[in-house]
Amino acid sequence: MELDQAFKALGLEDRRAECRLLVQKFTEIKILLIRSRRSTNGEKELVRAFWDEHIKTHPNDTNDPIASLMYFSVKKGELLLTVRKKNFAEHLYGLSSRPSEFVFKGTPLDSKNALALSFGAVAVTKPSEKYPQGCIIFSKRGKTALNCGEYTALPGGYFNPTKDFTGKNSNGDKEKYISLEKAVERESSEELPGLDSYENLETLGLIYSCSGSKQPLIAISIKLPYATELAMQILRSRKPDWEVENYIFVPADIEGLKEFVKEHALCSHDVWKIALYVAKNL
């Protein structure tokens, strides 16, 4: 199915402009981590003061390391993203001054403000008699800094250069890389406790949210080796991450998804994640 048809089938044409599709056709991802420029004392003080005020209203937020996007390119089906280590406070601090129509040219992209790179997955349960195409797991976001109260497909989150770091890529290069697979496993353990394993990771696209988080996101899909009924049972017995308010299992077919998005406000990047998934798989 063409992407235009997917948006129309889901009834989401009016929300298409909320994100920008940067790259769609790639099969491999390489995230290169390079040394970060040190912030000046003045910059640090501004960010620190901003963060001190922010946590007064969002006490659960943590100022974790993030991967700030500097450059990206595609060659022979491989998406190469060059990032450097920043922190969440730096990304959040720069949102107010970042334009919605971000210009993806010039070097580097995060020269003015940190530009946090994240991933977002469409996790599909194993088909069963009741759900022949499986289900996609959604959640209402808790009191987070961004997209509070909106609905998102799980798992997803920011890349953490410390936790997701790998010393080399599969070809044996000595350069430092960040692993998408490690990030997926880490976020799955937090947001989908007990459903940590997955298979068939497929890329959907690289998008940029023009509002809200104003950040680049790698959209992917994964298959869960659990039937919907078993996945429900497992999640009911576990305590999810504080960001996850509830779990909603939505049939992974056009009718089920159309009905869900009609009644639930999706995050901007999830509008695109779901449209990209439908275009590629249904």
Q: pLDDT tens digits, residue range 155-208? A: 999 999 999 988 655 555 567 899 999 999 999 999 999 998 999 999 999 999
> What residues make up the domain containing 226?
3-281
3-class SS string, 95-107: HHHCCCCCCCCCC
CA distance 66 to 167: 17
Q: pLDDT tens digits, residue range 43-94? A: 899 999 999 999 999 898 999 999 999 999 999 999 999 999 999 999 999 9
Q: pLDDT tens digits, residue range 84-104? A: 999 999 999 998 788 777 777
pLDDT at 145 exceeding the cut of 60: no
* 58: CB partners within 8 A, 6+ apart: 143, 144, 145
Q: What is the pTM (predicted TM-score) of this model?
A: 0.94
SS3 265: coil
* 227: CB partners within 8 A, 6+ apart: 125, 126, 127, 128, 131
> Residue 111 sits in a domain of what CATH number?
3.90.79.10
**Structural domain count, the chain:** 1
CA distance 219 to 148: 20
pLDDT at 149 exceeding the cut of 90: no
